[in-house]
Amino acid sequence: MNPVAETTAPKFPPLEDRPIKNTICLFDVDGTLTPARLGISPEMLATLQRLREKVAIGFVGGSDLVKQQEQLGVLTGEPVTGMFDFCFSENGLTAYKMGAALPSNSFIQWLGEDRYKELVRFVLHYIADLDIPVKRGTFVEFRNGMVNVSPVGRNASTQERNDYQKYDLEHKVRETFVEKLREKFGHLGLTFAIGGQISFDVFPNGWDKTYCLQHLEKEAKRPGGIEYTTVHFFGDKTSEGGNDYEIFTDPRTVGHTVVGPEDTMKQLKELFGV
């Protein structure tokens, strides 16, 4: 299913007619709406549909739209851009509002080819020299808005991911790697964020999840646009160093820490009765 395919007629009230019109709920994806890298559950889907009757909803994830489509659209096959009012892939560098694309940005444009090559050369040498129990493939994933680096490789199976995560926690592989990168490349204005199970993300300072908030600010300035005076954010990696930390602590949001999708649903029930 093409995630940007035209969506069917809206089943939800237009944004300006939502009962709690100036409120939006933004969700991290992995560990918040879905188990890490897995699909959304029918219960979560139904909860989001009930919530969307009341407030605007959006997701903000580090992965690209194709991966979010796989995870969030798995049950219905519906384009994910039709399932949420706002879709912020790659932290909002690729963004959609009501199924229509908003202006995008890119990492390589910002960094330039030469500095990018220097970074990748260092990363691949470092991984080649790492002695860890298992290595698979795709150690560097080049994305529109960031580079994702994984010592075990993104081709690891679910079991290999879980095993690596345990190993990493004990041996601080990613933590040490990131410290080295900060020393060597910190002057370029890059952020290194450990978010998921097996990797970390590298992107320009400020291109964390707070990046997506500028789309909401632009929406408020648009003639007839809605000003979201309350922006709830739900995420599972909200501690310092986690990839939800910046948006969670941003003064423009009301942050909620969740321990997994079940907890997200529990908190939504308490807050909005859905």
Check binding of 242 to ligand M1P (CB under 6 A).
no
Check binding of 196 to ligand M1P (CB under 6 A).
yes
Sole binder of ligand M1P in the list 4, 93, 147, 201 (CB under 6 A)? 201
28 given a catalytic annotation: yes
Token pair belonging to 202: 């590298």
Check binding of 198 to ligand M1P (CB under 6 A).
yes
Check binding of 73 to ligand M1P (CB under 6 A).
no
Residues 126-155 that bind ligand M1P (CB under 6 A): 148
Kindly state the DSSP code that residue 75 receives in the 8-state scheme: T
Number of H helices, E strands in the chain: 10, 11
Sole binder of ligand M1P in the list 61, 92, 99, 261 (CB under 6 A)? 61
Sole binder of ligand M1P in the list 243, 247, 264, 274 (CB under 6 A)? 243
Segment interacting with ligand M1P, rule: CB under 6 A, options 18-26, 41-49, 101-109, 191-199:
191-199
Check binding of 40 to ligand M1P (CB under 6 A).
no
Strands 200-204 and 147-149: antiparallel
Classify burial at 2, counting beta carbons within 10 Å of its beta carbon; exposed 0-12, middle 13-18, buried 19 or more. Answer: exposed
Annotated binding site for alpha-D-mannose 1-phosphate: 37, 143, 154, 161, 199, 201
Of 19, 79, 16, 83, the residue nearest 45 (C-alpha) = 83
133 to 152, 166, 175: CA distances (angstroms): 9, 12, 17
Q: Which is nearer to ligand M1P, 12 or 203 (CB)?
A: 203
Signed CA dihedral, 147, 148, 153, 157: sign only? negative
30 given a catalytic annotation: yes
CA 31/CA 238 separation, integer angstroms = 11
Q: Which of 28, 64, 168, 244 is catalytic?
A: 28
Q: SS3 helix, strand, coil % of the chain, rounded to 5?
A: 40, 20, 40
Check binding of 34 to ligand M1P (CB under 6 A).
no
Classify burial at 113, counting beta carbons within 10 Å of its beta carbon; exposed 0-12, middle 13-18, buried 19 or more. Answer: exposed
Segment interacting with ligand M1P, rule: CB under 6 A, options 3-11, 55-63, 177-185, 216-224:
55-63
Annotated binding site: 28, 30, 37, 143, 154, 161, 199, 201, 236, 248, 250, 253
Binding site for ligand M1P (CB under 6 A): 29-30, 36, 61-63, 148, 195-199, 201, 243
The residues carrying an active-site annotation are 28, 30
